[in-house]
Amino acid sequence: MKLINLIFPKKCIICGEFTNVKENDIFCPICRTKYETLKREPCRDCGKAQRNCRCISSKLKYAGISVTQRHVFRFSDELSRTLIYKLKRKNLSALQLFLAKECAELVKEESKGAFRDEFAIVYPPRSKSAIKEYGFDHAHIIASEVAKITGFPLLRAFKRVGGKAQKTLSAAERGQNAEKAFELSDECALTGLSVIIIDDVVTSGSTAARLSELLKQQGVKRVIVVSASKV
Ligand SMILES: [Zn+2]
Ligand SMILES: [Zn+2]
User: Around ion ligand 1, which residues have CB less than 5 A away?
Assistant: 12, 14-15, 17, 28, 31
CB 30 within 8 A of CB 15: yes
**Residues 12-30: pLDDT tens digits?**
999 998 866 677 789 999 9
Dihedral of the CA atoms 171, 166, 74, 46 (nearest 10)?
Answer: 50
**Residues 181-209: pLDDT tens digits?**
999 997 678 999 999 999 999 999 999 99
Distance 87 CA to ligand 1 centre (A): 16
Distance 210 CA to ligand 1 centre (A): 37
Confirm or reject CATH 3.40.50.2020 for domain 51-230, answering yes or no: yes
The mean predicted confidence, pLDDT, of the chain is 90
Report d(CA 100, CA 33) in Å as an integer: 20
pLDDT given at position 39: 95
Q: Tell me which of 120-124, 158-162, 198-202 is least confident.
A: 158-162
Distance 14 CA to ligand 1 centre (A): 5
CB 57 within 8 A of CB 203: yes
pLDDT given at position 178: 66
Listed by start position, the domains of the chain span 1-40, 51-230
Distance 1 CA to ligand 2 centre (A): 41
Among the bound ligands, the one closest to the CA of 15: 1
Report d(CA 200, CA 203) in Å as an integer: 10
For the chain, give the percent of residues with pLDDT over 90.
Answer: 76
Distance 202 CA to ligand 2 centre (A): 14
As a whole number, mean pLDDT of residues 113-136 equals 93
User: What type of residue is 33?
Assistant: T
